Structures are given as structure tokens and as C-alpha cells.
Structure 1
Amino acid sequence: MITEQITVPEIHCGHCKSSIEGALQPLDGVLRAEVDVDARSVTVDFDPETIDRAGLIGTIEDQGYDVRQ
């Protein structure tokens, strides 16, 4: 398992949190996805043999958010 923190500057509310967590949590290999609205970041625990950072970022971007790489 790997833990990644991904910065998403556009996170600002509960809807953002729900949208991003709701998109990430069902993905194969994602064990936990937690958005910190105040820090504007997403912490994800995942299995790197199933999904990679690029896949996580792509999922966040599919929800309409830009990711700081």
C-alpha cells in the first residue's frame, strides 16, 4: 500500500469533498480517499499494483478539478 497526498487548489466546500471522495473510493485498488477541504488536498491509500498516481489524478480531473503536480 502507498499513501499519496494530492494537492487540488480548487477544493473549497463539502460538495468538492463528496465529489472527489465519491469518485475515488469505488476504484479498484483504492483503500481510502479522504479530502481535507482546509488543506485543499486529497490523501489516498492505494495498491500501486492495481492503480497508479496518474489514474488517481485522472479520476480527480474527470470530476472537473485541476491537480497541482
Structure 2
Amino acid sequence: MTTKEFNVPSIHCKHCVHTIEMELADMDGVKSVKGDLDSKKVVVEFDQPATVESITDTLKEINYPPED
């Protein structure tokens, strides 16, 4: 299993966190998602077929693009 932390500066409220958690949790291979409003970070645990790239693409699609 891989764990990756994403910096998502466009998180502004609990609804943002909820949306991100629900969308990423629906992806095949994603085991857990935890968003944090204060730090604007999202921690994702995943296996194949999910990848860093597919998670990043999903975040971009739902208008929460991560930054490096």
C-alpha cells in the first residue's frame, strides 16, 4: 500500500473536505482518504489500480488541484 500527502490550497471549508474525501474514496484502489481543513492537506492510502497521477487527475477534475 502507498500513502501520499497532497497539498490542496483550495480547501476552504468542511464541505470541500467532504467532497474530496467522497470523490477519492470512490476510486478503485483507494483504501482511505483523510482531508484536513486547517493544514489544507489530503492523505490518501491506495493500491493499484489507483496511482498518484490518477488521484491528482481526479482532484483537478473536481476543482481541487494539488500543489507540490
Shared fold (TM-score greater than 0.5)?
yes
Corresponding position of 1:15: 15
Cα distance in 1 between the residues matched to 2:65 and 2:6: 11
Q: Which letter does structure 2 place at the counterpart of 1:57?
A: T
Note the C-alpha offset of 1:46: 0.2
Note the C-alpha offset of 1:66: 2.2
Three-state SS of the structure 1 residue aligned to 2:12 is coil
Cα distance in 2 between the residues matched to 1:2 and 1:65: 21
Gaps of 5+ in 1: none
Corresponding position of 1:56: 55
Query: Runs of at least 4 residues of structure 1 off by over 6 A?
Result: none
Q: Residues 8-47 of structure 1: matches in 2 within 5 Å?
A: 8-47=8-47
Q: Identity of paired residues, percent?
A: 34
TM-score for both structures, normalised by structure 2: 0.94
Note the C-alpha offset of 1:67: 1.2
